[in-house]
Amino acid sequence: MPGPRPPFPWTAWVVHLLTATGAVWALLATLAVVAGEAKMAWLWLGIALVVDGIDGPLARAFHVKERVPLFDGAALDLIVDYLTYVFVPVLFLWRFGLLPEPLTLPLCILVLLSSLHLFAKADMKSGDNYFVGFPAVWNAAILYLWLLAPSAWVNAAAVLALVALTFIPAKFVHPFRVVEFRPLTLAATATWAVTMVVLVAAHPERPVWALALWLAATAWFGGLGLWRSLRRD
């Protein structure tokens, strides 16, 4: 006699569906970019960032990989991340004229191709969950360029530097997975997120307190990554 059928893993599929909504937020952000609505674009990309932050812990909590072994949630996550972390932000970079005109298209292509290299790397993360090389978080990088509003040529230099860092084994902190100094990193992540919302909402104004806290959180991430990069272990 066959045993009872296992229950349908609906919670696991709900987590996959949550991850898949990233494609929806990417579409809405694209429409906002095309319409010239910068703040709406960041709103949709911000929602995608929140989803990306919670779907991994949910997948582990509900043992999604074991319960739905024939569906690759990691591949789904990478596809969605490429859309929301790279492709739509590059459209933003092009649409809002953040780069010098002669370099706009070549640099956008360079970002797209270098990010594909990063996403395809088998050693994207170190054993202690630091990213190896710039982790193609172009949504965050281009947000800095938009909020801080340096010259187009400074933006171009920043983009080239980050592309180069994609191929250099410098370490970048994962805000949720890195164990070292996790309480401080989580506090910096929360500070960064809250002040980012304030700065985007207030743009083009930049409240000094929000900008200072935002840059302080940024300094923590950069300092921790540099500290890990210089360690020899």
pLDDT classification of 22: cutoffs 50, 70, 90: very high
Q: What is the pLDDT averaged over residues 54-63? A: 89
- Assigned token pair, 216: 């302080």
Residues facing 132 on adjacent strands = 171
Higher pLDDT, 122 or 103: 103
CA quadruple 167, 173, 176, 178: dihedral, nearest 10: 110
Summarised one tens digit per residue, pLDDT across range 112-125 is 999 999 899 888 88
2 or 53: which carries more pLDDT confidence?
A: 53
What is the average per-residue pLDDT within 192-204? 96
More confident residue, 213 or 118: 213
Say which residue, 19 or 56, is predicted with more confidence. Answer: 19
Architecture of domain 10-172 in this structure = Up-down Bundle (1.20)
172 bridge partner residues: 131
DSSP string, 34-45: HTT-HHHHHHHH
Residue 123's pLDDT is what? 86
Give pLDDT, residue 63. 87
pLDDT band at 93 (very low <50, low <70, confident <90, very high): very high
Mean pLDDT value of segment 126-140:
94
How far apart are alpha carbons 217 and 211 in whole angstroms? 10
What is the pLDDT confidence band of residue 1, given thresholds at 50, 70 and 90? very low
In the predicted structure, residue 6 carries a pLDDT above the cut 70 = no
Cβ 31 vs Cβ 89: under 8 Å: no
Interatomic CA distance for residues 187 and 201, integer angstroms: 21
Region 155-169 average pLDDT: 96
> Please, where are the H alpha helices in the chain?
10-34, 38-61, 64-67, 73-81, 88-95, 104-120, 138-148, 152-166, 182-202, 208-230
> Which of the two residues, 9 and 24, has the higher pLDDT score?
24
For residues 46-68, give the mean pLDDT.
91
| Per-residue pLDDT at 180 | 92
